[in-house]
Amino acid sequence: MRLRGRRIVGGFGEGIALVLKSPISFLEGVDSRGFIVDPETGLEGRRISGRVLVFPWCRGSTVGAYKIYSLSIMGLGPSAMVCREADIISATGCGIAGIPLVDRVQPDPLKTIRTGDHVKVYADLGLVEVSKRTLRPESPPRRS
């Protein structure tokens, strides 16, 4: 399946999708090891590293942009992000970290992409390719 959107930060990224139905705060909702800690996301305990993060928008402090950057330079950031509407936090964080970011994707990515799908983001083209999962969704990794 191919979805079209708007390029915010160019580049290419791919990985398994993590789809958050609620906005995320990178400052408070993701720990320094790249694990989601916000229970409202429904994905608490999942690692964002190497994943394509699909979410409505970021909430909270603009310090969340620095959190995206710091996770990225430690190799713990997502490979790409797809959101309904880019905001200052996601756009700045992805921009300084070099993480591809696409928004205004149609049809709605929160309704068409499921956690566990394989997603390729060609941000320069505003293109998101989705391969539906055929296996059971992966279980969250154990935190140690």
> Which residues belong to the active site?
61
N- to C-terminal Cα separation, the chain: 37
33 phi and psi angles, rounded to 5 deg = -100, 5
Q: Are strands 52-55 and 12-19 parallel, antiparallel or unpaired?
A: parallel
- Return d(Cα 52, Cα 44) in angstroms, integer: 16
Query: Could you tell me what percentage of the chain is helix, strand and coil, using 3-state DSSP and rounding each to the nearest 5?
Result: 25, 30, 45
